[in-house]
């Protein structure tokens, strides 16, 4: 009975899908390849060469409106073209910071269940171990078990110890930065005298090729991994975990010089222009209003001419990093076309969280070291010995439709671009306003690969995924992913939120207080400006009860 139900469901999802690349596969054979079950009810793989490849592209700290296809002025022709072939999502949610988002991506689960309750915290407390735990089955581990090559290049940030290396969690080949940040041109560290960034390749200590730019080198590595095993015709899962455009803002001048003078009007001007462009593109409601700026943002006109000059240069370099990112994604996509794999590949592009508002050059805990080894002089901005970030002002310009930015549980911290394209994606050049989250990617990949998430993994029980497959939406069978009763909740560093339907509660108080939650109707107020807890008390109480249930489920705690 279970087999018949699965076959019926998949037929409804794929009956309009385009044929998968290498050859036109008769539909009955496709069903057999995807869902043939053995007597134990576990999926097995047959004719693996006919299953689609999966390419997941992750930008680091990219803002909602940075891409051309999301209303931005930065030159991103490759991603804009990808959007023409696929679907742009306007309601895609991540965690507020890098590590919890990446844990959710690779497990389809809540960051506490996965073990990354709080970034940069490793304690012997459920949910805050600082690495992916054995409470979950990692996505690459499952895919490798069921016949996929699994490759990764870029930022790991999910456990620095050897036993938590990507090599031990399912990645067949990997070249990774273990920490959450690194110099884009060398291995110089930021957080202590003589510190260095740490890299591994296939679980073994490796080095950074001096002078190579991060996005270029990660792309080289990933392409090399794909080419090395092409002959066996097995499908691949490739995870490009780029570190751009994460601070420090660094890039070759040939990219940043394209934008010379384009931001001299200031961050408030850019914010208003992008806000208008988002409306014109249909990416935010026409009745949306510009949210209030973060209180730390000074008016542009209050800056001195020298300050304005440096601020403009920050954004020029940031734009160059995004430009270079688009160029390297183009290298990957062109290569897939050259080797005949593009038409057989599902491509998912996301950012791991909202635009970054940090300014660590001025952080009193880090500044003594950073100031001794790096500089923020105008003449060298963007070079290897320069340490700058664009901070709250430009982060607000990158997320103009939403409140605040990275770290916050407000929409500006957790709503990011997502583009999905590939042979099974119907309705090219379309916009989806359906609620989706980063936890939905893993179940989508597993379903498309013809496998399922297990109840046990390597002899131990695992928590079920909290995400749901996007495949019904991608193939045109549905216009939504989750029912209106679906609950999405987050906690990170005591910033919290819970959303059910178009209603959301948020607390950005520290220490966390349950009484600090505000209530917002996102259907009318995506910028989260109007607290309705006094106007809609029954809805407020309903969501507080949901919060209690979520807290119990993930065993929420606040260790320090």
* Residues assigned a catalytic role: 98, 157
* Rounded Cα–Cα distance for residues 173 and 236 (Å): 11
Rounded to 5°, angle at Cα 456 from 453 and 457: 85
* Rounded Cα–Cα distance for residues 352 and 403 (Å): 17
> Could you tell me if 53 and 341 are in contact, meaning their C-beta atoms sit under 8 angstroms apart?
yes
Instruction: Give the count of beta carbons closer than 10 Å to the beta carbon of residue 204.
Output: 10
DSSP assignment string, 304-339: -HHHHHHHHHHHHHHHHHHHHHHHHHHHHHHHHHHT
Q: Which helix (H) or strand (E) holds 451?
A: none
Structure tokens at 196: 């260095």
Cis peptide before 486 (omega within 30 of 0): no
Beta strands in 304-446 (DSSP E): 345-351, 415-421, 430-432, 436-437
Structure tokens at 142: 């499952």
> Could you tell me if 173 and 194 are in contact, meaning their C-beta atoms sit under 8 angstroms apart?
no
CA-CA-CA-CA dihedral for 259, 260, 266, 268, to nearest 10: -10
* Rounded Cα–Cα distance for residues 71 and 51 (Å): 35
* Rounded Cα–Cα distance for residues 506 and 520 (Å): 8
Using CA atoms, how far residue 249 sits from 124, 243, 254, in Å, is 35, 11, 14
DSSP assignment string, 51-93: SPEEEEEEESS--TT-SGGGT--S--HHHHHHHHHSEEEEEEE
Structure tokens at 35: 């869902």
Residue with tokens 């549905």: 478
Closest CA to 414 of 506, 329, 328: 506
Residue with tokens 């209180």: 295
> Is the Cα dihedral 398, 400, 401, 403 positive or negative?
positive
Phi-psi region of 480 (alpha: psi -120 to 50; beta: other; left: phi over 0): beta
For every residue of 226-264, which 3-state class applies, written as one string? HHHCHHHCCCEEEEEECCCCCCCCCCCHHHHHHHCCCCC
> Could you tell me if 142 and 452 are in contact, meaning their C-beta atoms sit under 8 angstroms apart?
no
* Rounded Cα–Cα distance for residues 53 and 61 (Å): 26
Structure tokens at 428: 């090219």
Pairing of strands 436-437, 87-93: parallel
Residue with tokens 């940031």: 318
> Could you tell me if 268 and 290 are in contact, meaning their C-beta atoms sit under 8 angstroms apart?
no
Structure tokens at 469: 């497959």
């Amino acid at each position: 009975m279970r087999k018949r139900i699965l076959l019926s469901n998949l037929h409804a999802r794929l009956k309009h899908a385009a044929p998968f690349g290498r050859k036109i596969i008769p539909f009955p054979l496709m069903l057999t390849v995807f869902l043939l079950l053995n007597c134990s009810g576990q999926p097995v793989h047959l004719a693996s060469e006919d299953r689609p490849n999966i390419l997941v592209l992750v930008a680091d700290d990219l803002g909602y409106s940075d891409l051309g296809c999301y209303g931005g002025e930065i030159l991103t022709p490759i991603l804009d073209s990808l959007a023409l072939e696929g679907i742009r999502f306007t309601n895609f949610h991540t965690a507020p910071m890098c590590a919890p988002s990446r844990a959710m991506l690779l497990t389809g689960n809540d960051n506490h269940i996965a073990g990354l309750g709080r970034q940069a915290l490793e304690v012997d407390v459920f949910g805050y171990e600082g690495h992916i735990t054995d409470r979950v089955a990692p996505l690459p581990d499952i895919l490798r078990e069921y016949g996929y090559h699994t490759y990764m290049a870029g930022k790991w940030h999910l456990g620095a110890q050897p036993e938590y290396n990507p090599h031990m969690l399912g990645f067949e080949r990997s070249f990774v930065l273990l920490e959450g940040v690194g110099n884009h041109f060398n291995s110089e560290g930021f957080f202590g005298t003589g510190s260095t960034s740490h890299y591994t390749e296939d679980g073994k200590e490796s080095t950074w090729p001096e002078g190579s730019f991060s996005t270029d080198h990660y792309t080289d590595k990933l392409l090399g991994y794909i080419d090395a095993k092409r002959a066996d015709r097995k499908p691949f899962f490739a995870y490009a975990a780029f570190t751009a455009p994460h601070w420090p803002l660094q890039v070759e001048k040939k990219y940043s010089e394209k934008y010379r003078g384009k931001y001299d009007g200031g961050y408030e001007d850019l914010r208003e222009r992008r806000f208008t462009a988002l409306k014109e593109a249909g990416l935010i409601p026409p009745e949306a209003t510009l949210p209030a700026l973060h209180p730390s943002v000074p008016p542009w006109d209050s800056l001195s001419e020298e300050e304005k000059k440096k601020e403009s240069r920050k954004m020029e370099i940031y734009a160059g990093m995004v430009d270079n990112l688009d160029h390297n994604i183009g290298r990957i996509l062109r290569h897939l076309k050259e080797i005949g794999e593009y038409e057989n590949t599902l491509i998912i592009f996301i950012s791991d969280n909202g635009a970054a508002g940090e300014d660590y050059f001025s952080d009193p805990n880090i500044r003594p070291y950073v100031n001794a080894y790096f500089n923020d002089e105008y003449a060298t901005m963007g070079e290897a010995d320069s340490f700058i970030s664009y901070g709250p002002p430009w982060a607000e310009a990158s997320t103009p439709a939403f409140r605040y930015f990275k770290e916050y549980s407000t929409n500006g911290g957790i709503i990011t671009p997502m583009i999905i394209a590939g042979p099974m994606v119907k309705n090219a050049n379309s916009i989806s306003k359906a609620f989706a989250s980063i936890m939905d990617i893993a179940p989508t990949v597993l379903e498309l690969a013809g496998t399922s998430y297990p109840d046990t993994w390597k002899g131990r029980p695992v928590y079920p995924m909290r995400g749901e497959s996007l495949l019904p939406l991608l193939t045109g069978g549905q216009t939504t992913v989750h029912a209106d009763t679906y609950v999405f909740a987050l906690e990170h560093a005591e910033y919290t939120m819970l959303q059910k339907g178009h209603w959301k509660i948020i607390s950005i108080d520290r220490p966390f207080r349950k009484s600090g939650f505000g209530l917002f109707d996102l259907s009318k107020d995506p910028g989260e400006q109007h607290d309705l807890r006094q106007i809609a008390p029954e809805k407020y109480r309903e969501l507080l009860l949901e919060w209690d249930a979520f807290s119990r489920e993930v065993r929420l705690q606040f260790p320090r």
